[in-house]
Amino acid sequence: MNKYFIDTNVLIYAYSNDEPEKNEKANEVIFTDNTLISLQVINEFSNTCLRKLKITPQKIISSLEEISNIIKVTAFTHSTQIKALQLINKYNFSYYDSLIIATAIENACTILYSEDMQHKQKIENQLTILNPFI
């Protein structure tokens, strides 16, 4: 059974009405069984909502409660950070992208939905990055 990891940009589209087609697709992906996000994604989502989307803290709290009811939220560890740094050497990702990838791998995900990374790239023969908006 596949497990899916959701990158921050996909979560943002699910809560933004600026691009209805991306909003619809993001919601389809989020409501797929076996989806995960990390605390990093929660932090990035909250920051983007506050700074760029100008959403109130109370509304963000409501969104986070809703998110945690439909998506498993996982933490990362020191070993995840080490794995992220190893991925930087191998694939030349940014640190934060590498941390998302490492967290997905450690949670046995097979698909990472992201708009910001290379579509169909295979990582460590385990994880495939897919852009759900293509």
Residue 133 in domain: no
Q: What is the pTM of this model?
A: 0.93
Angle at 13 between CA 7 and CA 18, to 5 degrees: 155
Instruction: Tokens 């993001």: give the residue.
Output: 26
Is position 20 within any domain? yes
Range of the domain at 98: 4-119
For 28-48, what is the mean pLDDT?
95
Going along 77-125, which residue ranges are E strands? 111-113, 122-123
Q: Which of 44, 96, 47, 38 is nearest to 68 (CA)?
A: 38
Residue 119 has pLDDT above 90, yes or no: yes
- Is 113 a domain residue? yes
Residue 129 lies in a domain: no
Domain count, the chain: 1
| pLDDT recorded at residue 17 | 83
Domain membership flag for residue 128: no
pLDDT exceeds 90 at position 18: no
Dihedral angle computed from the Cα positions of residues 72, 34, 103 and 62, in that order, rounded to the nearest 10 degrees: -30
Tell me the three state secondary structure of residue 90.
helix
Q: How confident is the model at residue 16 (pLDDT cuts 50, 70, 90)?
A: confident
Q: Is residue 54 included in any domain, yes or no?
A: yes
CATH of the domain at 36: 3.40.50.1010
How confident is the model at residue 13, as a pLDDT?
94
- In this structure, is residue 106 part of a structural domain? yes
pLDDT, tens digit (0-9, with 9 covering 90-100), for 48-81: 999 998 999 999 999 999 999 999 999 999 999 9
> Of 15 and 101, which is predicted with more confidence?
101
Distance CA 15, CA 75 (A): 22
124 found inside a domain: no
